[in-house]
Structure 1
Amino acid sequence: MKSILIVNQSSGYLMVDIANAFVNSGKYDRIVLMVGNPETLRGLDKNVCVEKICKYNRKSLRRRFFSWVYGTIQVLFRVLFKYRSYELFLVSNPPTISFITLFCKNLYSTLIYDVYPDGIVSGGFVTRKNLLFRIWAKVTKKFYQNAQYIYTITEGMADRISQYCDRERIEIIPVWYSADLNPIDKVKNTFILEHGLQDKFIIMYSGNIGKGHNVKLLVSIAERMKEDDDVRFVIIGDGWEKKMIQDSVIGKSLKNVLLLPFQPFDKLAYSLSAADIAYISVEGRASTVCVPSKTFNFIKLSKPLLCVAETNSELAKLIQTYKNGRVFDPSDLDGIISFIKNLKDSVELREQYKVNVSVAKNVFSPNNAYQFIKR
């Protein structure tokens, strides 16, 4: 029997499902999950041992980078002195986790959600000529070269990774929805009652409010639709642009916008179920490699998706495949508003989207977690 250490600085239901899959496989006698936020690990099998490292800090670039480096150092010392004989399953959070394999000899596999050091270039923090980038890129090539298995979540992400290793070595396993998330009927939904949203048609954004999520566009749409009293825009989350969004809503006197912080896990099914349309946006280069995980939870709840992304994005490919929403250019405010109004006014259209979503549910099932288990 073998032992395995799973490392992901910022974990949620995806890591819970993966850890539980390792338990259920019967191939490992000891499974350790090392995370920065153990309070999010609901539903984790009792046979998984949880060990804490520093939490991923998103408050500023400096704090973010410090949390990456400090978390990586914590993992390295524990692997060297406590988990030397363990297999490693390393998730790309912290992104600097690749550096630990310079110092330890454990067998390891990796799951890549974000490609680094490319991320610090696309974010405008350094150029490819920068010494930090060149050193990090060299370490990354060696990291992929020595990995047993390399996993990622989309074709676009695999293409991006292929600059560092052979494309044939990369296995794509789609992200999935939370099995614990079940739809709540609107009539019984306490979130709707608490916030006075009865008889309102709700367009919802729920997630990080950062510069790549284009939440400000949703505010612009709300401004154009402020005379539609039966429509509400609900924005849930926190992040770098939250203050700017708040100031914009107040400055424009938008009474049709409700701003809320992240909801507790036990209220998540209620808040997400309140949506009639889910707003998903991915900007820039990230759009060609990733689909926000919130997308799959809205799929589980049979919500049509209002997506703002490039036509060649992974999000657009998903919509084109399953016909479970529409994708718009951010400049097409008229098209977005027409989409919202058509869905609000047509029960038949809403029902058709529900039928389309049901197909996608089978593809993005929690059973995908078992694809990480090798014979």
Structure 2
Amino acid sequence: MTDVRFFNTYEPVSPFYRDLIPLLSARGLDAEVVLSSREYRAGRKPLEESLGSDRVGIRRIRAGRGVVLGRSQKLWAMLTYVIGAAGSSLFGPRARLNFFLTQPPLFSLWGLVLRWLRRQPYCCLVMDVYPDVAVRDGLLKAGGLATRFLTYVSRSVLRRADAVIVIGRCMRERMEQHGIASERLHLVPNWVNDAEVQPVEHERNALRKELGLEGKFVVLYSGNMGVSHFLDDILETARRLWELPDLVFVFIGDGPRRREVVGWQERFDLKNIRLLPFQPTERLAESLSLGDVHFLSLRAGFEGLVVPSKAYGALGAGRPILYQGESTGEIARMIEEERIGSVVPLNSPDSLTSVLRRYYDHPTLAANEGQRALELNRQKYGRQHAVSEYLRLIEKLLGKDVDQGN
């Protein structure tokens, strides 16, 4: 029997497994991670190499090899994962606690099945709220029969979970509106590994030198370019400010909206836009420190459904955040409460250009806000704070006493 079994199609973008599971092992707890054999993104060494321990088992559900490319490969990886993960957890060794992350969507229903059939408790970590995200994406019709049914299933599973973890206040408020008991809700923000991400000064940043960015003011977008992100105005701002020779917009990552960046760059022949792939873990500190300002965005209607984890990379690198989205979201609240950046409304390229020009003209503003961001990460949002909360919750669900000395 294993103590905790984790389910998610791929390894999360956050360092969730790599930071949490070694501490579970150190406390004498056995963990199993059930993953697809495919990867969501490149640039990280295999999880097996990071979690080398007799107390950790990694079960790969066969679906081919390499990074998933395109919708058909993602659907195949998801289908094979559902079948393989369900079968192994139903007929294989028992688990004292089943821990479901967000992918595949609504697979946490299997937790309810395992409770009925094998009397195993389960908890859910909600990083994206389904089926609501699919409705916003246009994949499901609002108010349609399928949407109503999936909504009923999702709410039923969450209401019956032994614990529900959310990553933002806006998400917690939405869960409470859906009837999730407040005593079962736990707010634990995402984080970055402080040992891997720390500020790298421009003059010591080898990646900056390799990319020819010495002496440049860099606006950095680092992470997934997904359907929930809004890039229209930052691209228009790049077009408007193209005449500033030392201002560069760097986009690092991939996703369905990357082609919009490529198209805009080619359409206006913009030399101030640079596109890079995801960077390897060993260069993450240099990568996140490229920017003088980090840009984040979220489309209207996605607040409370997702929380951009890119923000925590900016905190770890000690950089201010320029956020474009609704003011009710977690990241917007954090920025305004802690004075670590600026919040700009959607569909307002004039405001975005004005705010960005202010950072460009007054570099000490970015430096001061970045220093506050770094202190905030150390005091409130760092790895130790988040992982400690997970340890307390997991040990509580397992019926163990928390050893405060560890």
Q: Same fold (TM over 0.5)?
A: yes
- Deviations 1:239-297 (CA, angstroms, capped at 9, x unpaired): 11222321220110101111122222222222211111101001122224433111101
Partner of 1:240: 256
Residue 291 of structure 1 aligns with an amino acid whose one-letter code is V
1:171 and 2:171 matched: no
| 1:226 paired residue number | 242
* Equivalence for 1:371: 389
> Distance between the aligned counterparts of 2:75 and 2:149, measured in 1?
16
**Alpha carbons of structure 1 residues 294 and 58: separation in structure 2 relative to 1, 3 Å:** farther
- The structure 1 residue matched to 2:155, chosen from 136, 141, 155, is 141
Separation in structure 2 between the aligned mates of residue 346 and residue 364 of structure 1, nearest angstrom: 27
- 2:373 aligned residue (350, 354, 357): 357
- The structure-2 alpha-carbon separation of the partners of 1:157 and 1:57, relative to structure 1 and needing over 3 Å to count, comes to farther
Q: Deviations over 1:309-332 (max 9, x none)?
A: 112222210111111000001333
Tell me the residue number matched to 2:313.
297
What is the distance in 1 between the residues matched to 2:141 and 2:230? Answer: 24
Match status 1:336 vs 2:352: yes
Which residue matches 1:74? 84
CA contact (8 A) 1:69 1:96 kept: no
Whole-Å separation in 2 of the counterparts to 1:288 and 1:102: 24
Compared CA separation, residues 252 and 347, structure 1 to 2 (3 A): closer
Distance in 1, Cα, partners of 2:179 & 2:73: 28
1:5 Cα deviation after fit = 0.8
Separation (CA, whole Å) in 2 of partners of 1:289 and 1:316 = 14
Give the superposition deviation at 1:65.
4.5
Give the distance between the partners of 2:16 and 2:46, measured in 1 at CA: 11
Query: Which amino acid in the other structure matches residue 100 of structure 1?
Result: W
Counterpart for residue 203 of structure 1: 219
Q: Give, in whole Å, the separation in 2 of the partners of 1:118 and 1:216.
A: 23
Q: Does 1:89 align with 2:105?
A: no
Verify: 1:125 aligned to 2:135, yes or no. Answer: no
The offset of 1:127, in angstroms, is 2.7
CA distance in structure 1 between the partners assigned to 2:349 and 2:245 by the alignment:
19
- Among residues 32, 47, 70, which one is paired with 1:59 in the alignment? 70
CA distance in 2, matches of 1:296, 1:18: 17
Contact 1:279–1:307 (CA<8 Å) still a contact in 2?
yes
CA contact (8 A) 2:219 2:250 kept: yes
Report which stretch shifted further, 320-329 or 138-147: 138-147
2:107 is paired with a residue of what secondary structure?
helix
Q: 1:59 to 1:2 in 2, by over 3 A?
A: closer
RMSD of aligned alpha carbons: 2.4
Distance in 2 (CA, whole Å) between partners of 1:137 and 1:83 is 31
* Equivalent residue for 2:164, pick from 150, 155, 160: 150
Q: Tell me the SS of whatever aligns to 1:212.
A: coil
8 Å contact from structure 1 (residues 154, 314) kept in 2 = yes
1:44 alignment partner in structure 2: 51
TM-score (norm 1): 0.90
Q: CA deviation at 1:74?
A: 1.6
Deviates more, 1:326-335 or 1:233-242: 326-335
Q: Deviations over 1:183-216 (max 9, x none)?
A: 2232232211221111111001111122322223
Q: Find 2:27's aligned residue among 25, 29, 41.
A: 25
- Gaps (5+ residues) in structure 2? 402-406
2:163 and 2:58 map into 1 onto residues whose CA distance is: 23
Given the alignment of the two structures, is residue 10 of structure 1 paired with residue 10 of structure 2, yes or no? yes
Instruction: Determine the C-alpha separation between the residues in 1 that align with 2:51 and 2:227.
Output: 32
- Asked if 1 retains the 8 angstrom alpha-carbon contact of 2:111 and 2:121, the reply is no
In 2, the alpha carbon distance for the partners of 1:332 and 1:238 equals: 25
After superposition, the Cα gap between the structure-2 partners of 1:2 and 1:98, relative to the gap in structure 1 and judged at 3 Å, is closer
The C-alpha deviation readout for 1:107-135, integer Å capped at 9, x for no partner, is 21111111112222222222354343333
- For residues 355 and 291 of structure 1, the distance between their equivalents in structure 2, rounded to whole angstroms, comes to 23
User: Aligned to 2:227, what secondary structure does the other structure show?
Assistant: coil
Identity %: 25
Unaligned runs of 5+ in 1: none
Paired residue secondary structure (2:141): coil
Query: How far apart, CA to CA, are the structure 2 residues paired with 1:218 and 1:281?
Result: 9
Q: Tell whether the 8 Å contact from 2:198 to 2:318 is kept in structure 1 after alignment.
A: no
Return the TM-score normalized by structure 2.
0.84
Partners of 1:9 and 1:56 within 8 A in 2? no
What SS does the corresponding residue of 1:263 show, helix, strand or coil? coil
Give the length in aligned residue pairs: 372
Whether contact under 8 Å (1:208, 1:238) holds in the other structure is yes
Q: Which amino acid aligns with 2:273?
A: V
Please give the per-residue CA displacement for 1:9-29, whole angstroms capped at 9, x wherever unaligned: 232412222222322333x2x
